Structure 1
Amino acid sequence: MWRKARSTKRGQNEVEERGHWGNKVEFLLAVAGNIVGLGNVWRFPYLCYKNGGGAFLVPYLVFVVTCGVPLFLLETAVGQYTKEGWVTCWRKVCPLAEGIGYGGQLVLLYSCMTYIIILSWALFYLLFSFSSQLPWSTCDNYWNTADCVDFTTSNHTLGGTNHTNRTSAATEFWERRVLNISRGIEEIGSIRWEVLLCLIFMWIVCYFCIWKGVKSTGKVVYFTATFPYVMLLILLIRGLSLPGAKQGVVFYLLPELSRLKDPQVWMEAGAQIFFSYSLGVGTLTVLGSYNTYNNNCYKDSLWLCLLNSGTSVVAGFAVFSVLGFMAHKQGVPIAEVAESGPGLAFIAYPQAVAMMPLPQLWSICFFFMILLLGLDTQFVSMEVVMTSVTDMFPTVMRRAGRRERFLLLFCLTCFFSQIIMITDGGMYIFQVFDYYACNGACILFLCVFESLAVGWIFGAERLCGIIVDMTGERANPYFQICWRYITPIISLGSFICSLVEYQPLTFNRWYVYPTWAYVMGWVLALSSILLIPGWALYKLGTSTGTLCQRLHRLCWPELPDHSVTRKIETALQPITEEDLE
């Protein structure tokens, strides 16, 4: 009685429990919602078309098998075992590699700042989709120029000598109405107030999606992770029923085997895997850390990877069937309308739906899907950062009300830091952050050391034993080979190739950034990369004992539960003996 009364009296000073998923479905939906994002819809289809169609699936599947699935399982299993965020999990796995955790969270912070800008643009378009006439379908608006072309009234093409300076109504809406883009990064201009209001709304939505931690996140994903599939199915059926859809699908998957000789094709396939699988930044580790100890993360990882890649392929049919219709309507090759990234979502696809019957309906469906796909990825990324920080300071952050206040501070900091991105010159800054700070090379570098730290220092055999102890299933010995050899070698090779093939950022193929912008970009890129060796040197320099003692303590920490250690050692025996036979 006395203890209970005392506990009630202390109230606010009690440290709250870390929390866990309400059930397995919440975990699966949270991971699916995070890994299935905008990259599946606006990047994979274009890469497939650009890099050999069906032939692109060869390097794509190679990276899936050698890097995607092994690292996906590694990160999920480490999170489920350690019950820690992306920073503190390394204290139990390999403290010397804790810089991987800090670097990953910094990349995720940059991503949170840029990704939500895309959501504010999508919300802007969604609101205009309810207009009686889509504003990007006509040339009689106040922002249009004399060079504007309206594709909904007659068959026009932007190709040919007579239209060298012509722009589509969708392009002018994007560049002159949404962005009001200036002539360069030096001309920041004024804030786009309508986009600012959309941005504020998206931050409020993201805040309340995760403000109670995994309890609120687990409930929100029931809608945000499933409804985009309904929208995708509707758009797929509609797209395949349009005239010209067949030509679009053929262009999407037409095999061009000669493209496999190009190293750039393989690099882009690898970058797509690392991005779409959310590797190297701790998302999978944090989401897995809220699982029960005996959850079958082995099967979960395999099915979720299949879902991600399958969604990418299906999204390609939905996108290119519509682009095929657009090319058919204009009488131009599909190569002239196929785009990637923001160009697809905010120019090509809006222009295509403006040509359809009931354009408002299809526009609403498309941008609502884009919004939900991006929203899931955004608030899960925010949850990962919050969890990692909370696990670093549990006695401070897990007290009543502390999390909500820190989350508000996090949102406000990101918001005020990114206001410059929604000015007239903000698109140029946005591109610098997206190209350098969230660069695939940074993630590749993190993944190289992640696989080396777990595969060699912590031990691939030990991790397989942990998976046996947690799930009751023995992981295929192929994963041990990947964690030790294949994954780090391919990741390192891809990282080196990305540096050798580096091309300075340009905007719209014509604008070249000033030197100081490139310097700023490289500072952003190196800020996450240098944390790995920097933290290792710091830990070695501040630890006590001889160099050998420091290395041993920082590389091979004691497992937290000695009873678990014995189970793992027992589980390892049959793996080693049977697999060698």
Structure 2
Amino acid sequence: MPSLLGVEMDPQPSSQLKITLTNSGNKLGHVQAKPQEREQWSNKLEFILAVAGHIIGLGNIWRFPYLCYKNGGGVFLIPYVLFLFTCGIPLFFLETSLGQFTSQGGITCWRKICPLFEGLGYGSQVVVLYTGVYYIVILAWTFLYLFSSVRTELPWASCDNSWNTGSKTSFSSCYTHTLRRILGLSEGIDQIGNIRWDLALCLLLAWVLCYFCVWNGVKSTGKVVYFTATFPYVMLVVLLVRGLTLPGAQEGIVFYLYPDPSRLTDPEVWMDAGSQIFYSYGVCTGVLTSLGSYNKYNNNCYRDCVYLCLLNSLTSFVAGFAIFSVLGFMAKEQGVDISMVAESGPGLAFIAYPRAVALMPLPQLWAIFFFVMIIFLGLDSEVGPWIKSNSNVIDMIGYRPWPFMKYCWQYVTPAICTCTFLFSLIKYTPLKFNNTYEYPWWGYALGGFFTLSSTLLVPLWMLYAVCVTPGTLKQRLKLLCTPSMDIPRATKKASNHEAFQTFTELHTLRTTESSTDKDGKTQTLSVI
């Protein structure tokens, strides 16, 4: 198209710079306003604490220690470390750097990099939605336990309660307190039961806390994490010191780490190690991308990611000492084998550990410490999701990362993830509640719907994008696989040309200012 410079050029709408000329005085006008820049963390520490709060959560406390003792003790660390360096750190770094490079969240980053895969962003947000809904319920349970901990006698320490049935034992008391007093468990999933108003109010409290943690974006979240991400470590150290001083703690730690090399031949051990890495590091949800997008472009995210991953795994390892020292004490007090008291998941937080706390001196104090730690771990994991390529990484951090990282992205990590997925399909068994209750057919169908509602968004978006994009099929695919020109690397490459172009445009405006419309109308000049 003809330009003011008298040069014939092909139209490039995406690269036009529109300049508006007015007749008010000698003003040259204004360049069209740039998109509003994304918020940034006030300092690097806010980013570190926010990511640490997101990845260091309940799984570090109630999942890793159990998997470690279940899968051969110390030898479980061999597959765990292998998955950490081949999958955990590479994926963690990839997601974080993707957000920092594009300065976009979990959805719009794909729109900038490869629009064809924007469905990945939508699918991950569905997963985040489901995760947030169940995490907030766990927070509600914890609040109810915390409020119950201030009583003169812990309610789960006594068998003389209205909800206690059957055997009058310490285990029965804790078990029935959780299932009947807290959950109000019915006979089946088809019997909803009545509203538990105390639990509903705790749920409301949890939602309100989450809202005030994120209501002002990274400005509020960055300040909240100073406390919520560090206080759990204080509580963990207190519980660790207390646990190590209890009788029976040594037996519990030996049970936690005693190696059984024969377990390495069991494929399930490797499966558990891989699932723990993916679960604990919060990858493939878009949250790390969103948190990384608030970084400065040249932040050394490679170093940050390595340190955060090591901190996460170290926290899981140390938490095992705090948990199994207390479980060893409980096993010795009750005269049973420690395998009879070890639990995983919510059973550890709401049955096994409260039962152990009830046997300690000053049980209310230790119960408060434990449940406050659980609340902050869960709150950080809940808050994170709600916050609104190799050469590219070199541009950002200023040096080339470990070459092994590149090969992990290209070959190792995809191969391991594929094998893990296929093995999980082969070993799949229908889910049962408490290993006893089988859900009706429509319960399994509902679970399948939740799974497909996130995964099907990827191919459905591809189909939709191809259908609405103009051109031939080859042109559509090429356009949908082409990165946007306004990402930092493209902008950086064109910076020298733009500087010269801007100087030329200003000179052109000066020489053509006298030719503006005499009626004072605004003229728009397009320069390619």
Provide the TM-score with structure 1 as the length reference: 0.78
Q: Find 1:274's aligned residue among 260, 278, 281.
A: 278
Aligned to 1:235, which of 215, 239, 242?
Answer: 239
- AA in 2 matched with 1:279: V
Instruction: Summarize the alignment of residues 85-234 of structure 1 with structure 2, pairs less than 5 Å apart.
Output: 85-150=105-170, 167-234=171-238
State the distance in 2 between where 1:335 and 1:262 align: 20
Give the 3 Å change call, closer, same or farther, for CA 15–193 of structure 1 in structure 2.
farther
CA distance in 2 between partners of 1:214 and 1:342 (Å): 30
Q: How far apart in 2 are the matches of 1:464 and 1:269?
A: 27
The equivalent of 2:337 in structure 1 is 333
Residue aligned with 1:481, SS: helix
Residue of structure 2 in register with 1:489 after alignment:
415
Give the letter aligned to residue 257 of structure 2: L
> Match for 1:295 among 271, 292, 299?
299
CA distance in 2, matches of 1:551, 1:565: 24
Shift of 1:148: 2.2
Give the letter aligned to residue 358 of structure 1. L
Tell me the alpha carbon deviations over residues 515-554 of structure 1, each in whole angstroms, 9 at most, x when there is no partner: 1100110111111111111111221222111222111111
The superposition leaves residues 98-139 of structure 1 with CA deviations (integer Å, 9 ceiling, x where unpaired) of: 111111000000001000000000000001111111110011
* Alignment match, 2:349: 345
- Report the alpha carbon displacement of residue 94 of structure 1 after superposing the two structures with TM: 1.3
Which of 309, 317, 324 aligns to 1:320? It is 324
Question: In the alignment, what sits opposite 2:57?
Answer: 37
- How many angstroms apart in 1 are the aligned matches of 2:329 and 2:203? 33
Would the aligned equivalents of 1:148 and 1:172 in 2 still touch at CA under 8 Å?
A: no
RMSD: 1.4
Give the one of 301, 306, 311 matched to 2:315: 311
Following the alignment from structure 2 to structure 1, what is the Cα–Cα distance between the partners of residues 36 and 168? 59
- In 1, are the aligned partners of 2:299 and 2:396 still within 8 Å (CA)? yes
Distance of 2:115 and 2:327 partners within structure 1: 50
Structure 1 residues 66-104: Cα deviation after superposition (integer angstroms, max 9, x where no partner): 110001111111100100011110012111111111110
Q: Do the aligned partners of residues 524 and 563 (structure 1) sit closer, same or farther apart at CA in structure 2, a change above 3 Å counting?
A: closer
Aligned to 1:564: 492
Alignment-derived partner of residue 261 in structure 2: 257
Tell me if 1:539 matches 2:462. Answer: no
Q: Which residue of 1 aligns with 2:511?
A: none
Which structure 2 residues correspond to residues 448-487 of structure 1 after superposition, within 5 A? Answer: 463-487=389-413
How many angstroms does 1:343 deviate by? 0.5
Q: Which amino acid aligns with 2:377?
A: L
Larger radius of gyration: 2
Q: Give the match for residue 51 of structure 1.
A: 71
Find the counterpart in structure 2 of residue 522 from structure 1. 448
Q: Secondary structure at the match of 1:504?
A: coil
Unaligned runs of 5+ in 2: 1-33, 496-528
Residue 332 of structure 1 aligns to a residue in which SS? coil
> What amino acid is the match of 2:287?
T
Q: Work out whether residues 249 and 317 of structure 1, in 8 Å CA contact, stay in contact via their aligned partners in 2.
A: yes
Is 1:376 equivalent to 2:380 in the alignment? yes
- Report the secondary structure of 2:259's partner residue: coil
| Cα distance in 1, alignment partners of residues 164 and 108 from structure 2 | 53
Measured in 1, the distance between the counterparts of 2:455 and 2:353 equals: 36
Aligned length: 460
Shift of 1:277: 0.6
Secondary structure in structure 1 of the residue aligned to 2:144:
helix
Query: How many angstroms does 1:244 deviate by?
Result: 0.7
Q: Is the 8 A contact 1:228 1:373 kept in 2?
A: yes
Whole-Å separation in 2 of the counterparts to 1:46 and 1:516: 31
Q: Which amino acid aligns with 1:261?
A: T
Of 433, 436, 447, the match for 1:510: 436
Distance 1:557 1:222 in 2: 36
Letter in 2 for 1:478: F
The answer on whether the counterparts of 2:38 and 2:103 sit within 8 Å (CA) in structure 1 is no
The 1:286–1:232 alpha-carbon spacing in structure 2 relative to 1, beyond 3 Å, is: same
1:262-307, CA deviations, whole angstroms, 9 ceiling, x for partnerless residues? 1111111111111111100011110000001111101000000000
TM-score, with length taken from structure 2: 0.85
Greater relative contact order structure (CA < 8 Å, 6+ sep)? 2
Residue 194 of structure 1, CA deviation: 0.6
Q: How far apart in 1 are the matches of 2:491 and 2:450?
A: 44
- Is the 1:559–1:565 Cα contact (8 Å) retained in structure 2? no
CA distance in 2, matches of 1:197, 1:248: 37
Deviation readout 1:304-352 (Å, 9 max, x if unpaired) = 0000000000001100110011111111111100000110000000000
- Is the CA contact 2:106–2:121 (under 8 Å) kept in the aligned structure 1? yes
Q: How far has the Cα of 1:564 moved from its partner?
A: 2.5
1:261 shift after superposition: 1.3
- Look up the equivalent residue of 2:492 and give its one-letter code: V
Q: CA separation in 2, counterparts of 1:257 and 1:556?
A: 49
Per-residue deviation at 1:17?
A: 5.1
Distance 2:344 2:472 in 1: 54
The amino acid across from 1:537 in the alignment is L
1-structure distance, mates of 2:491, 2:466: 30
Letter paired with 2:394 = V
C-alpha contact 1:144 1:172 (8 A) present in aligned 2: yes
The answer to whether the Cα contact below 8 Å between 1:26 and 1:218 also exists between their aligned partners in 2 is yes
Q: What is the alpha-carbon distance in structure 2 between the residues aligned to residue 374 and residue 229 of structure 1? A: 13
In 1, Cα distance between the equivalents of 2:455 and 2:493?
33
**Displacement of 1:566 after TM fit?**
7.2
The equivalent residue for 2:43 is 23
1:92–1:557 Cα contact (<8 Å) kept = yes
SS at match of 1:168: helix
Between the aligned partners of 2:447 and 2:420, the Cα distance in structure 1 is 20
1:556 to partner: Cα distance: 2.3
1:557 CA drift (Å): 2.1
The 3 A distance-change label for structure 1 pair 15 and 558 is closer
Helix, strand or coil for the counterpart of 1:235? helix
Match of 2:479 in 1: 553
- Give 2:143's aligned amino acid: L
* CA deviation after TM superposition for structure 1 residue 16, in Å: 6.6
Structure 1 window deviating more from structure 2 (256-265 vs 558-567): it is 558-567
Q: Give yes or no for contact 2:485–2:491 (8 Å, CA) kept in 1.
A: no
